[in-house]
Amino acid sequence: MKETTREEALPLQRPSTEAGEVALSFLLRGGVFAAAILLGFAWAGSLMAGKPLQVPTSFAQLGSGEMDLWDHLGAAGALTLGATPIVRVAFTIPLFARAGERLQVWVALGVLLLLGVGAFFA
Amino acid sequence: MTFALLTAGGAGALLVLLGLATGCLGALVGIGGGVIIVPILSLGFGVPMSSAVATSLVCVIASSSGAASAYLRDHLVDLRLGMQLELFTVAGAVAGAFFAPLLPAAFLQVLFGAMSLPVVHGLLWRPAPELPGPGTVRHLPFGYAASFGAGALSGTLGIGGGPIKVPVMTLVMGVPFKVAAATSNLMIGVTAAASVFIYWSRGLLDLGLAAPIVLGALVGSALGARLLPRVSSRVLRWMLALVLLYLGVQMIVRGLA
């Protein structure tokens, strides 16, 4: 099989996106840090309150009054954590677009599209 | 919900430690840690399997995103390769979700277990590049196919893509081990995020259980990301080989049972 050099197809690093990779790093760190704070407060609060954390499974449940502050904080933390890698994929689109790498833009769009398809049919 | 108050006191500390250990190991060898968390939660804490899987997915997102942030900053991630393999992994996961009921799970478990043995041998004895730098990425189509397979099998076998993709990147595609582990960390968070919302919508996510593990995993992944440059690739390959051996045996036992 013909070998594809990294320079030709998939360079390990390209100066055109190095700054963007650092920005993606900040995005991921910010997401997990925010999620950790929310989940930490929620966990500590639920232990002090002596009741288990509830996780809403519908939007109706959010406003039903069944959930207390700690449940809301926990749900916000889990949502932030789950959304972080997906937002990271979305942020690679302008990163690659600015670098003029159309193939990678389509790849990122494809990942988001497939995630949407998976979520729709799940 | 039933198990949430278990997390008070000593059990909570144990869960934080569990997250810390798996987060550190995951950051070092590019796996999510579900292969360790799920059996410990289900066998050690008596948590139902579906809740244990949902909890491990949240932990995988935390540890992989935490580690990937450090690796992106250090330019250790092959972002382009990661994105391309991620596309095939997610495609495989979507296809697997549709066809999972048709797949012979027990046969696939035994097959995966049997195939892990030559991979363990390759990790231990086959020479591989140590450092990232100018080189080649070989056999891209094989990498795409393996990523698709890893995604498709993730639901059936209950594993993330890491234990399949890291050996493929290292042994077949010629990617240095540390780059493979860093790139895998970037990818597995997306696959886990896609699944965790499904478990959440079905009411299987227990945040009282997940929160302490996530907190431990975040610290563990930061520790692992700091350790990675200091540990030789040979040691890391041994660590992954041991995890794969454990996983392979677990799969064979589960498949035959």
C-alpha A57: how far from its chain's center?
A: 19
- The band of A27, judged by pLDDT with boundaries at 50, 70 and 90, is very high
Task: Indicate whether A7 pLDDT > 70.
Answer: no
Residue A68's CB: how many other CB atoms inside 10 A?
Answer: 15
For residue A2, give the DSSP letter.
P
pLDDT at position A6 is: 47
What are the two backbone dihedrals, phi and then psi, of residue A14, each rounded to the nearest 5 degrees?
A: -125, 135
Best to test chain B binding among A33, A43, A58 (most B CBs inside 10 Å)? A43
Best to test chain A binding among B90, B154, B179 (most A CBs inside 10 Å)? B90
User: By the 8 A CB rule, do B254 and B39 touch?
Assistant: no
**How far is B107 from chain A, CA to nearest CA, in Å?**
25
Question: What are A29-72's pLDDT values in tens digits?
Answer: 999 999 999 999 999 998 888 888 877 776 667 667 777 888 88
- The band of A95, judged by pLDDT with boundaries at 50, 70 and 90, is very high
pLDDT at position A59 is: 65
pLDDT averaged over chain A?
83
- Work out the widest C-alpha separation in chain A, in whole angstroms: 63
Q: What Å distances lie between residue B89 and B84, B85, B93, B186, B202, CA to CA?
A: 9, 6, 6, 12, 23
**Bridge partner residues of B84 (DSSP):** none
Task: Indicate whether A76 pLDDT > 90.
Answer: yes
pLDDT at position A14 is: 57
User: By the 8 A CB rule, do B241 and B123 touch?
Assistant: yes
Which chain A residue's Cα is nearest to B8? A47
Burial class of residue B141 in the structure, from the number of CB atoms within 10 Å of its CB (0-12 exposed, 13-18 middle, 19+ buried): exposed
User: By the 8 A CB rule, do B243 and B39 touch?
Assistant: no
CB < 8 Å from A in window 167-186 of B: 179
Task: Enumerate residue ranges in chain B where pLDDT < 50.
Answer: 1-2, 4-5
Alpha carbons B121 and B205: distance in angstroms, whole number: 37
Task: Indicate whether A2 pLDDT > 80.
Answer: no
Alpha carbons B183 and B78: distance in angstroms, whole number: 6
Task: Indicate whether A86 pLDDT > 90.
Answer: yes
Alpha carbons B153 and B159: distance in angstroms, whole number: 8
ipTM over 0.90: no
The pair of three-digit structure tokens given for residue B9, joined into one six-digit string: 């006191």
CB < 8 Å from A in window 44-103 of B: 58, 61-62, 64-66, 68-70, 72-73, 75, 77-81, 83-84, 86-87, 90-91, 93-94, 97-98
Of A5, A32, A107, the CB nearest to B66: A32
Residue B175's CB: how many other CB atoms inside 10 A?
Answer: 31
pTM attached to this predicted model: 0.87
